Structures are given as structure tokens and as C-alpha cells.
Structure 1
Amino acid sequence: CSRGRCSYLQFETEIIISCCDFHTHRRHYACNGSSTDEFCRNLNLNLKSLNETQTAVFYSIHDWCKRKVLNENPQQFFYYVAGTGKSHLIKSVYAEATKILQKLPCVSEEADISKATVLLTAFTGCASHNINGKTLHALLKLPRSLKPPYQGLGNTLDEMRANFSNVQIMIIDEISMVSKPLFAYVNWRLQQIKGNDKPFGTVSIMAVGDFHQLPPLGKAKPLCVYEHHVLDFWRDHFKMITLTDIMRQKDDLAFAELLNRLTVKQKHEPLSDADRTITSRFSDITNIDADDYKKDPRSGHMQKQGAPFKGEKGDLVDTLQVAVGARVMLTRNIDVQDTRNSVPIILFTLRERRKVRKKGTVRRQFTLKLAFACTAHKVQGMTTHCAVASLKKVFEPGMAYVALRRTTSLSGLHVIDYDEKKIFCSDCSCLQTTKLQTFRFSAKSCGTFDFVEHHGLQTSCCVW
């Protein structure tokens, strides 16, 4: 397609990749035709399902990457993408930007092409896993304490510079949970790695999230709240792009509109009659208290067993209750990238040995806990067809909102421990997000897709 942005044509085991303003590149793949067909179909499906605003964001970054490859030195961009349909946009932008930036001279000629050009990251392990990324702390080797002064990389600096040698773009998901001290550390870390004092070390940032959802842990304020005494990278550099088309609940628009109204509901504001449809999803629940018992091998009777040694709060659990087929959660990130069908493969390597005095005690335990239910902080960003949401322990703005919007339809939502006052948003988030500068798309950032069939393989092109 001569006018197309991107087209994929297959001939036996060879793929011809042609991009606008680039010469045709031939790459041979050591894979069968079915794998190639699947790759092309997935790419086409991603592009085909983008709405108008998503398409504009997609091609704005596409054009930036193209100019970067052509050595036009485009200005570093800082986007804040808010609204709905963010995860799908992240995957599409990541795939396209990675493909184009592989043509950079520094990547194709000098550097190791295996090093990433686009990074995917988030604050929590669950959020980063949803986009196949890493947590900010793991990716940038950040310390547990973010208090000043800044702690440099030390002996690992050379290793990090090698790993980040090709990095041009960082995509941060669930930005509402990132605190200002953490965001400042991200800036300083990238400056140190890149050896450049420009914001974020010349790395362009695409921050994605919704400030009506969960704020940072503890007493830290979200990035959108301005504080005079705190270094503010957010308001000084970032421009906002709002995605308005609802994606998760697109097949249940009444439920989607209800959630949008709950987004701005204040703590003491009653629900409207239209919004009270959510009360139809109440469910009864029966709590069963179970004691810990063991079977006496001599009598065959069950006897209650006490814990051999109780630790302090935050230590390993006294008793680990598990069973075959039980759903569990890792409480430490051992290997978050080694997964099988989204189910963690748990690996334990015990190499540490410590000498303990007579008065000391050593406790060993698997870093697991039962997870038939998760906290709102764990499920932010997750999509499911059915969920049971308990509002009993909601204690801060956005928690109920996050729990209620995990499902794709109202019929799949079951609410327990309902309390209308628990559904509220943060006053400051509503006010401050409107003060961020809005990004204006250029006319060439918007196009339409045409999909054609070529030798049984559907291909796509963008018409201007």
C-alpha cells in the first residue's frame, strides 16, 4: 500500500515490512507461516480496534519515532493519557514504537539490538504484569527509602547504562499511585543513567492512568496536586490527553455512564435515583470461622494446634494455610516475568545461611498467602467478567470506584458490605487535573484505517 502507514505481506517464510518514508526491509524469520500469520492478525486487530483519540495518540508517537530515526531531533515529549481504554493503547504504542526505533543508527549499527528502546513499567507488581512490564523499583533499582539525599547506583551504574543504552521512551501505567518523591527519583535515576541533566535524561515519558483512582500509599499526595515546597516535574512538563470512549464496559453503556458519575461523587453526596441501580447487585455472604486443627495419629481425633512461635507484625505468617488448587499470591517478587498463562511459576532458591546465637530464633516460611480475594490496590488496572466487591474496608478516595469498575458489565458485579458513603472521590484530584495543559494534536496525527485482503492475509494501511 503506497499510501499506507504500515503493511505486512507474507511470502512463504519471508516477511516484507514497508513503512511510510522508509525503504523496504526484508527480514527472514525462522518460524512457520502460522506464527507469522498470527503476529500480523494480532497487529491488525489492535489497530482496527483503536478509536479516534487513541489513533491520534498512536500516530503522534509514531511520527515522533519516525522523526527520531530520520535524525530530525524531535522535541522530547511528556504525555499524560487519562480516561478509558489505556491498556490497549499502551500495547499498540509499545509495539509500533519498538518496531520503528529498532531502525535508529545507534541501535542497528553500534549498540546491542537486544536492548529495549521502549520500557513498560508501573508502581505495583500486578499493574506491571498486566502490561508485561516491570515495577519502577525493579527496573531502575530504586532504594526502599526515597528520602533525600539521592542514592546513586554506585557499582551498578555501568551495567544500567548498558541496559538503557537504546532507551528512548518510558511508558508508566497507573500513574495515580506514583508519589512525588518516587517520580523525582525516576527523573534523577534516568539523568544519572543517561549522563544528561535534561528532564528524565532525555527519555520521553508517556504516563498513563486516572487520578480518580487510588492515590499513592501513605500520606503522599498524587502528582496532580500542586505543593509549593515539593519539586514538581508534573505540572511543569506534562500535557494531558483524555480518552473519552469507554472500552471496558463498551457493551454495557448504562453501567459505564453510572461509573462515570461515580467518578466525581463527593463523600456526603447521596446517590441519584438513576445511580441506585448499583444497589441491585447486593449479595448475601456467610462468614465461617475456622480454627486450626491437626489430627492426632494415635486417637484419630482432631486437636486444636497453637502456633510454635509468633512473630511481630510484618514478619512471616505463623501458619501458612494452603491446599491443592488453592489460589495464592506471592508476597515477594521472585520472578514476575516467568509466568504460564498468567499463573505464576513459583521458584525458591535458598542460598543464605546465618549463624544464630543460642538466644536467637530463625523463622523460615514460603512467601505465599491465600488470595481468593485481593485488595483494591492489587486489582487496579485488571479487567474481569465477574467480581465480588466488598466495601467494608474502604478507607480512602477512589477505593470503591476501583473495585466497582473491574467488571465489563453490571450483571457481572456483586456488591457486599454496601455503604453509600464509601463511594467517593478526592476533591483535590477533581480540581487539579483540570489545571494541566491539554495536548493539541496536529492535523496529520489523525487518519483512518483501510483493511484489505492479500493472499488470504488481512493487512492494514492508514489513509490521510
Structure 2
Amino acid sequence: MQNIEKNDTCHPRSSQVKGRLKFSKQQMDVLIAAAQGKSVFITGSAGTGKSYILGFIVDFLKECCGPDSVFITASTGLAACALRGTTLHSFAGIGLGTDDAEKLASKVLGKKEHVDRWRRAQVLIIDEISMIDGELFDKLDYVARVVRRMNGEELHPLCFGGLQLIVTGDFFQLPPVKPPNQRKFFAFDSDCWDKCFDLQVELNYVFRQSDEQLISMLNEIRKGCQSAETIKSLNSCFRVLADDGLGISPTRLYPLKVDVREENMKELKALENPVVKFTAQDRVAGSQYKGALDSMRLEKELDVCVGAQVMLIKNFDTEAGLVNGAKGVVLGFTSASFKESDVKENVAYLVNPMMKWPVVRFACNGTEKVIRPEKQSVESGGIEVAKRVQVPLILAWSLSVHKCQGMTLDKVETDLSKAFDYGMVYVALSRVKSLEGLQLLGFDPSRIKVHPNVVSFYKRLSSC
């Protein structure tokens, strides 16, 4: 790794001096703790660089411990694929995880590959922890302590069987889906939570937005507050966004995925232009990994045409703005070389036999780029277990609030009066870079919902 030094204001992505990366004091504390083998919980509002710092930690621990002993997981397949990992359920070998802890431990012990995985692991990464409930977290702790116990022990004496845990997420964002035990609604409600971590840190510097007014507003909404100034700011967003002349419309955000698919198909058909189809080429190491393909951002089938509103789902050039979430419009199709690509020409031919690829104009400075097929893979303990090759675009007249997590959007159009879950208003609003890029169709202040347990947890965290 490169040398690193403390800096109270600099973000590692934005400042490099003679090969030395600068981090804030908080980020340094996290990096040092992880390097010392300590278990760490990293939280913070949207845009504070949780995923970015996690990337540094993963690279360092793979280098120190070996890639086959560092397992990267997340609560959802979408989040896991973004890290080239698997779901937490898949890593653990617990299926849906609905059985009691003893039955789950027996299930894991009954399969050699699951036991080998648990025992080979030295580090377990868990991203998007907000969607894991406390009962499941306790079950995982029990399974780990059973599977990793030593001779003569009933249970391993340490939490998670002595594994180093690196856990990230924001409990103010999307919560678990219908937790069976309301007393253990969130992971931090589990019996073992506080025993699991040597350090719990809430990052507090926002990098996604530079608009101080928006940052202040988002901080309020994240915590369930609505000052008169915030309501006034949101009411000012009931307007039509100015046309920038690039032919790129705002992205509409919906709570439900079914509304997204219907609208995107309707808009595509309305263009009445010839549709070009791209078919993903998949490979898995075994049938147990087929589910990983369903969670990939890369589509199994992608239909686009000239005029289609699309979104990039892979980082290409961060300085130019060509990142995950960059919005664009398809101008046409052209051929492209594959000599320097990690995708072979014969595989690209299977994706599209015409070997024609979309030319997309992006909102970032009107940049035009040919988008060729790319590879996305899933690893388990450093071994590639699933791979998909596809054009890294999705139709993007609209997106679901869930699918836009982790993205930064230039222009957003949404109806916040239809939000139905804890944190949904905050997640939707925190995707946009500035208030200038937000168009509201509806807003109901009562939809700003925060679970009281989350408020209490963060008060305790800030007082430590």
C-alpha cells in the first residue's frame, strides 16, 4: 500500500501528494484499527466515503492475510456484487436463515465446503448492515462459534469465532425487511453487537454534495427532523428542471421495482426506433452460485435504441464523471476494438452478433463514449465463482430507490409522498448532487420516517 498521512479535511480520492494519500483523522483511526486486526464498525451518512475506505481496507487485509482468507459479503446481492463478493447468507451457508441457531449450525456442519469456508476465514466483511436484523446477527455469531470451536470446546469463546469483522452501513437508511423479532429489529439490537467490535466510528464529512444547504437538509432528514427551512427548500423543488440541451432527462425514482420496469419499457417502445439487443454471457463455478448472477447490476438482457435514456453501472473515469450512476442518452451504435479489453472478441460476439456497441452522450460535460461489454465477477475467498459479460448500461428513465443506493445522480425527479419505509425519503434525496438537480412531484413531511431505536443507537455512538 502507499504511505498514508493524517489530514483533517482531505479525502483520499481528491488529494495525492508525491504518492502519499491523505486521510481524515477518523479515516486514519479506522485504517489503523483494521491493520491491527481489530474488528470495526464503520457508519456515516450517504456520501461520507464508507465504501471508499472499505476498498482500502479490503486491499490491505487481502495483502496481509491472503485473498483466500478474506471473505467479502453484503446484506443484498446488489451490494455484494458491487464489491465482487457474495451475500452474507451465501457465505454462511444458512439458506434463508429462518431456522433456529442450533439447526442452522447443524446445517452448516453438514456440508464440508461451508465448514471449510468458515474455518479458512480470518476476516469477514459485511456491507449494508442496516438490512440485517438482530436475530439473524446473533444466529450468525452462534454458527461461527460452533463451526470454529476448538477440540473439547462447546463454543468458541470469542464473538464470531475470533473472526476479524469489518462491518459498514448506515442504520438511518433502508431497514431489514419484516424482521421476525421486533425486539431485535436491527443488527445493533443483537445480544452480541457491542462485544463484536473494538471500534465503532461514524464518519461525518460528506463528499458527495458540496452544497452546504443540501448537506444541512439531508442531515436533518436522516435523523427524522424537518425544520421550517428544510420544508421551504423542498417546496422550492416543485418545478420543471431546465433543459440542458443534451437530450438527457432527470431520473425518476420510484419506491417499487414493478413501476420502474413498466415505465422504462413504455418509454423505450414510444421512441419507435429499431431496438438492439445485448445478451449477457454467464459462467458459474457451481449451481450454488447461480443466485449471484441474479443480483448483478449487469442485466441478463439489455434492449436499447437511439434516444434511449441509459445509466452507466460501472466506474470508468472518475475525473471525467464517468462513474456508476452517470446518466446519458444513446446517439447510435458503432464497432470497437477488443485488443486491450478483458473481454475476448469471441465472447463479445455472443453478446451482440452484429458487434455494434452503444455510443452514449453523458450529462457530464456532454462526454461521448462507446460502451463495450465489460466483465463483472463474484469472488468467494479470493476465488472467482461467477462471472457475467455484458454492456454496463441499464435503461434509466426511472430507477427504484433500492437500486440507486450507492449512486450519485445529477438530476432526480421523484414523488416523496409515496415513500413507505424507514429512511426511504433520505435515501432518495441523498442520491442527488445539489438542490438544483432535484424536481419534486409530491412531498408529505409525514413520510420522513426514522426508527426510534436508530436515533437512540446513534446518540450512544456519538457519546462514546
**TM over 0.5, yes or no?**
yes
Q: Match of 1:189? A: 143
Q: Match of 1:22? A: none
Query: What SS class does the counterpart of residue 29 from structure 2 fall into?
Result: helix
Shift of 1:166: 4.1
How do 1:60-79 residues align onto structure 2 when only pairs under 5 Å count? 60-62=33-35, 64-65=36-37, 77-79=39-41
Note closer, same or farther for the CA distance 1:45–1:428 as it changes in structure 2 (3 Å cut).
farther
Q: Match of 1:386? A: 411
Shift of 1:217: 0.6
How do 1:48-447 residues align onto structure 2 when only pairs under 5 Å count? 48=21, 50-62=23-35, 64-65=36-37, 77-83=39-45, 84-102=48-66, 115=68, 117-148=69-100, 149-151=102-104, 152-153=106-107, 157-195=111-149, 197=156, 198-220=158-180, 221=182, 222-223=185-186, 226=189, 232-238=191-197, 239-249=199-209, 251-266=210-225, 270-283=226-239, 324=275, 333-334=292-293, 336=295, 342=314, 372-436=397-461
Shift of 1:389: 2.8
- Mean Cα deviation higher: 252-261 or 375-384: 375-384
2: CA distance between counterparts of 1:328 and 1:279?
43
> What is the identity percentage for the equivalent residue pairs of Structure 1 and Structure 2?
23
1: CA distance between counterparts of 2:103 and 2:463?
32
2: CA distance between counterparts of 1:45 and 1:416?
48
1: CA distance between counterparts of 2:89 and 2:148?
18
Shift of 1:378: 3.1
Shift of 1:425: 1.9
Matched residue type, 1:382: M
Query: What SS class does the counterpart of residue 186 from structure 2 fall into?
Result: coil
2: CA distance between counterparts of 1:57 and 1:278?
35
Note closer, same or farther for the CA distance 1:47–1:283 as it changes in structure 2 (3 Å cut).
farther
Note closer, same or farther for the CA distance 1:209–1:154 as it changes in structure 2 (3 Å cut).
closer
Number of residue pairs the alignment of both structures matches: 320
Q: Contact 2:71–2:121 at 8 Å: present in 1 too? A: yes
Matched residue type, 2:207: M
Q: Match of 2:286? A: none
Q: Contact 2:109–2:115 at 8 Å: present in 1 too? A: no
Under a length normalisation based on structure 2, what TM-score does the superposition of the two structures give? 0.58
Note closer, same or farther for the CA distance 1:259–1:182 as it changes in structure 2 (3 Å cut).
same
Shift of 1:382: 3.0
Matched residue type, 2:26: T
Q: CA-to-partner distance for each residue in 1:100-149, whole Å, 9 max, x for gaps?
A: 223xxxxxxxxxxx62x322221112222233322112222222252325
Shift of 1:245: 1.0
Query: What SS class does the counterpart of residue 379 from structure 1 fall into?
Result: coil
For structure 1, list consecutive stretches of 5 or more residues without a partner in the other structure: 9-40, 66-75, 103-113, 286-313, 348-368, 440-464
2: CA distance between counterparts of 1:190 and 1:370?
41
Shift of 1:48: 2.5
Say which structure, 1 or 2, has more relative contact order (CA 8 Å, 6+ apart). Answer: 1
Shift of 1:174: 1.5
Matched residue type, 1:215: P
2: CA distance between counterparts of 1:383 and 1:123?
21
Matched residue type, 1:200: F
Shift of 1:397: 2.1
Q: Which has more radius of gyration?
A: 1
1: CA distance between counterparts of 2:146 and 2:374?
33
For structure 2, list consecutive stretches of 5 or more residues without a partner in the other structure: 5-13, 151-155, 242-257, 270-274, 281-289, 300-312, 315-372, 378-393
RMSD: 4.2
Q: Match of 2:247? A: none
2: CA distance between counterparts of 1:425 and 1:46?
42
Query: What SS class does the counterpart of residue 389 from structure 1 fall into?
Result: strand
